[in-house]
Amino acid sequence: MSLRLGDIAPDFTANTTQGQIHFHEWLGDSWGLLFSHPADFTPVCTTELGKTALLKGEFEKRGVKVIAVSVDDLDSHNRWIPDIEEVNQVQFNFPIIADEDRNVAQLYDMIHPNASEKATVRSVFIIGPDKKIKLTLTYPASTGRNFQEILRVVDSLQLTANYSVATPADWQQGDDTIIVPAVSTEDAIQKFPKGVKIVKPYLRYTPQPDKD
C-alpha cells in the first residue's frame, strides 16, 4: 500500500555518497526532502540534482535536509557527480542513496511498473520533524521537477504548522493567508491583530502572521 499524508516515513539504513546513514537518525529534528531520480547519467536527472545543489542554502535556511535516491550503486553515483558539477557549475553538497537492492524504493513505493519495472519515478516526499509525511508528489521520468515550487510548499507547510492559517492558490512568501474554518470570525479578530478581511463567511484573509 502506498504511503499517505500523516504516515510515519519508513526508516531505513543505507549507503550514500556521504557515508552510511540511518534515515531517522540522520533527519534528527529537521525537516526532510527525500526525492528519487530514475537513473544516473541521464539528462533530466543531471539538471535536477544540479538545481538542488544550487538551492541547498535555501533548504538549509528552512531547516530542511535534502537527500536523493536511485537504484544505481555507489560507484555509479560517484562517477556521475563530476558531470553534475560541470554541467550546473556547482559543488555537489548533499547525499545520494545507493539503492541497488531497491529497499528504499519499495518502502516508499517509488517503482511504478506501468512506467518502468526497474527505474524509480520522480517521487518527492517532504517529511516533518515528527517524521510524518507532509507532502507527496509524483512526476513521470520525462518531466523535471520545479524545485522553486518545492521550496514554496515547504514555506507553506512550516507556516501552517505554526499558525491557524492555510495558504491560497499561488501563494508566495509575504502574501495574505486564509484563516482556517475551525477559527470563528470573533476569535480570528482577536487571534490575528493585523486584520481580518471577510470575503465570504468561510473565506477570510489575514496578512501572513509571521511577517512584520
Tell me the pLDDT of the chain (212 aa) as tens digits.
588 999 999 999 999 999 999 999 999 999 999 999 988 999 999 999 999 999 999 999 999 999 999 989 999 999 999 999 999 999 999 999 999 998 998 899 887 655 555 566 688 999 999 999 999 999 888 899 999 999 999 999 999 999 999 999 999 999 999 999 999 999 999 999 999 999 999 999 999 999 87
H or E element in which residue 147 lies: helix 147-162
Choose among 210, 135, 157: nearest CA to 166.
Answer: 157
CATH fold of 13-145 reads Glutaredoxin (3.40.30)
pLDDT of residue 140: 85
59 phi and psi, to 5 degrees? -65, -40
* Identity of residue 150: I
pLDDT of residue 159: 97
Instruction: Please give the CATH number for the structural domain made up of 163-206.
Output: 3.30.1020.10
The cell for 123 is: 517521487
pLDDT of residue 97: 97
In whole angstroms, what is the distance from residue 55 CA to residue 89 CA?
13
pLDDT of residue 1: 52
Supply the DSSP symbol for 180.
P
pLDDT of residue 116: 52
**Residue 163 · residue 209 · CB < 8 Å:** yes
Give the residue numbers marked as catalytic.
Answer: 45
Sequence ranges of the domains in the chain? 13-145, 163-206
**Residue 12 · residue 104 · CB < 8 Å:** yes
pTM over 0.85: yes
